[in-house]
C-alpha cells in the first residue's frame, strides 16, 4: 500500500545519459569506444583495399621459412637454417635479457647515487650530482657509441693471450676480457638430467625459497605485532636461500667449463659479447641518473620528523635510512620508476647500432628486408613491445599497490 511518506518512483529518461552524473561518464566512454572502433575499422579496410590494389595480402607464412642468417649472441640453439620464427624468438630473448640486466643495474646505480647525493660529505654529494647531470643530459645513443668504442679500442685482442702464460694473463685464471667480449666460466651439472631440465630445477628451488622467506617474514611480523618483539630472521632466510642450492650442487655435481684460447679466439665458457656489454652498461648509467633523482625526491618527501624520531630512538644513520626513510620513500619512487623501466625496454631497440641482435634487429631488420613483409614484421614488433610494456607496468603496479598507504 502506497503512503504519502513513500518517495516518488523515478523513471529513466534518455537525457539522464548526459545530465545525470551517475551515467554521464559511462556514456562518454561508450561513445569514445564506438568512435575508436569505427576509426580502426576504417583504417583496416583502407589498408586491405590498398594491399589488394597492389596485389598483396597480409600473411605470416614467412615465419616458417628458413632465416638464412646467423646470430652471434643467442640464448637458445639457432642456426642459419632455423626458421624466421625461431630467429624472432632469439631476438626476443636477447631483448628481454638486456632489458632485465639494465633494469637491475640501473636500479642499483640510481639508489646508490640518489642516497649519496644527500650525503653530508660535500665531495661525495657533488660527485653524485656531477654523475646525474652529465649522464642524463647526454643522449643514450652517444653513450652506447662511446662505451662500444672504448671496448673495441682499449681492451686487448684474443691473440695477445697467446703463449705459455695465456692462462696467467686471464683474470683469476678463469676469465678473459677482450675487445670481442668477456669470457667467463659456464656452470653445468655432471650428474643432472641434462639440458634445461637442470636449470628448471634450480629456478624452481629459487622460487620456493622466495615464497618461504616471505612466509618467514610475515610470521615474524605477526609475532612482532602480538608481542612487540621481532624474532631474528636473517640466519633462517640465508639458510632457506643457500642450503637448497648447495644440496642441488652436490647432488647434481656442479662444475664449470673454463674458457680457453682455441685458434684465433676463446672457446668454451660463456661469451658476453661487446655489443651486449655496450648496450647494457649504457642503458644502466643513463637511466640510473634519472632513477637517482627519483630516489632523491622520494627521500626528501619523507618528513624530517621521521628521521629525528628514529635518531632519538638510538638508530644509526644507516639503519634509519634502510628501516624508516626508504620504505616510506618507495611510495614516491615506484610510480616514476615504472616509466624508467619501460624506457629501458624500449631504448634497448638502439642495440642494432652496435650489432646486438635484439628483436628489432632480427624481426624488424634482417627478416623484414629478406622477406619484404614490412607490415607483418612491424605489427609483430609493435605487439611485442606493447605486451612487454603492459606486463612490466602490471607487475610493478602490483608492488606499488602493496606498499601504498591503506586507510582503515
Whether 96 is in a domain gets the answer yes
pLDDT in tens, 300-326: 888 888 888 888 888 787 778 777 888
pLDDT at position 405 is 64
Number of domains observed in the structure of the chain? 1
Q: Which residues contact 216 (CB under 8 A, 6 or more apart)?
A: 233, 236, 237, 240
Please choose, from the candidates 79, 78, 82, the residue with its C-alpha nearest in 3D space to the C-alpha of residue 65: 82
Q: What is the pTM of this model?
A: 0.80
Kindly report the average pLDDT of the chain as a whole number: 84
In a domain, 61, yes or no: no
**Domain interval for residue 289:** 79-141+275-403
Whether residue 22 is predicted with pLDDT greater than 70 in this model: the reply is: yes
Radius of gyration of the chain from its Cα atoms, rounded to whole angstroms:
28
Q: Distance between CA 20 and CA 152 in Å, rounded?
A: 67
Dihedral of alpha carbons 66, 67, 73, 76, sign: negative
β-partners of residue 183 are 176, 271
C-alpha cell at 286: 643513463
In a domain, 72, yes or no: no
Domain membership of residue 322 (yes or no) is yes
376: left (phi over 0), alpha (psi -120 to 50) or beta: alpha
104 falls within a domain = yes
**pLDDT average, residue stretch 115-123:** 88
Q: Is the pLDDT of residue 16 over 80?
A: no
Handedness of CA 381, 387, 390, 392 (dihedral sign): negative
Residues 192-209 have a mean pLDDT of 82
- Answer yes or no: is 130 within a domain: yes
Q: Does the structure show a pLDDT above 70 at 407? A: no
For residue 50, being part of any structural domain is answered with no
Quick check: helix, strand or coil at residue 171? strand
Query: What CATH number corresponds to the domain at position 323?
Result: 1.10.3720.10
Q: Give mean pLDDT, residues 27-44.
A: 90
Position 77 confidence tier, pLDDT thresholds 50, 70, 90? confident
Q: Which residues pair with 6 in a beta bridge?
A: none
* Domain annotation covers residue 318: yes
Query: By the 8 A CB rule, do 287 and 344 touch?
Result: yes
pLDDT (mean) for 16-22? 74
Amino acid at each position: 500500500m502506497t503512503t504519502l511518506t513513500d518517495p516518488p518512483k523515478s523513471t529513466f529518461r534518455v537525457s539522464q545519459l548526459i545530465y545525470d552524473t551517475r551515467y554521464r561518464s559511462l556514456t562518454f566512454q561508450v561513445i569514445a569506444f564506438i568512435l575508436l572502433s569505427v576509426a580502426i575499422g576504417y583504417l583496416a579496410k583502407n589498408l586491405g583495399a590498398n594491399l589488394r590494389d597492389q596485389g598483396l595480402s597480409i600473411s605470416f607464412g614467412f615465419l616458417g621459412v628458413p632465416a638464412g642468417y646467423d646470430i652471434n649472441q643467442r640464448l637458445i640453439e639457432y642456426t642459419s637454417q632455423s626458421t624466421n620464427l625461431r630467429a624472432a624468438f632469439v631476438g626476443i630473448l636477447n631483448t628481454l635479457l638486456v632489458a632485465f640486466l639494465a633494469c637491475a643495474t640501473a636500479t642499483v646505480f640510481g639508489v646508490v647515487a640518489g642516497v649519496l647525493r644527500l650525503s653530508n660529505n660535500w665531495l661525495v654529494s657533488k660527485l653524485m650530482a656531477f654523475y646525474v647531470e652529465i649522464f642524463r643530459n647526454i643522449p643514450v645513443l652517444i653513450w652506447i657509441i662511446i662505451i662500444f668504442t672504448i671496448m673495441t679500442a682499449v681492451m686487448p685482442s684474443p691473440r695477445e693471450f697467446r703463449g705459455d702464460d695465456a692462462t696467467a694473463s686471464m683474470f683469476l685464471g678463469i676469465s678473459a676480457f677482450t675487445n670481442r667480449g668477456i669470457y667467463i666460466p659456464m656452470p653445468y651439472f655432471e650428474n643432472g638430467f641434462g639440458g634445461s631440465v637442470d636449470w628448471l630445477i634450480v629456478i624452481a628451488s629459487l622460487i620456493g625459497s622466495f615464497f618461504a622467506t616471505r612466509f618467514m617474514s610475515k610470521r615474524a611480523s605477526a609475532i612482532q605485532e602480538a608481542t612487540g618483539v621481532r624474532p631474528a630472521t636473517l640466519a633462517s632466510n640465508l639458510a632457506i636461500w643457500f642450503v637448497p642450492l648447495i644440496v642441488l650442487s652436490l647432488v647434481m655435481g656442479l662444475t664449470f667449463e673454463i674458457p680457453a684460447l682455441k685458434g684465433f679466439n676463446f672457446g668454451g665458457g660463456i661469451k658476453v659479447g661487446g655489443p651486449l656489454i655496450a648496450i647494457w652498461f649504457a642503458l644502466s648509467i643513463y637511466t640510473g641518473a634519472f632513477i637517482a633523482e627519483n630516489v632523491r625526491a622520494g627521500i626528501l618527501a619523507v618528513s624530517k620528523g621521521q628521521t629525528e624520531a628514529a635518531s632519538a630512538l638510538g638508530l644509526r644513520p644507516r639503519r634509519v635510512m634502510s628501516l624508516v626513510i626508504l620504505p616510506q620513500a618507495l611510495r614516491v619512487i615506484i610510480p616514476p620508476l615504472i616509466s624508467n623501466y619501460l624506457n629501458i625496454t624500449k631504448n634497448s631497440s638502439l642495440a642494432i647500432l652496435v650489432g646486438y641482435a635484439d628483436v628489432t634487429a632480427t624481426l624488424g631488420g634482417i627478416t623484414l628486408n629478406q622477406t619484404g613483409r614490412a607490415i607483418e614484421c612491424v605489427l609483430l614488433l609493435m605487439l611485442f613491445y606493447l605486451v612487454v610494456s603492459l606486463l612490466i607496468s602490471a607487475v610493478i603496479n602490483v608492488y606499488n599497490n602493496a606498499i601504498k598507504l591503506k586507510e582503515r
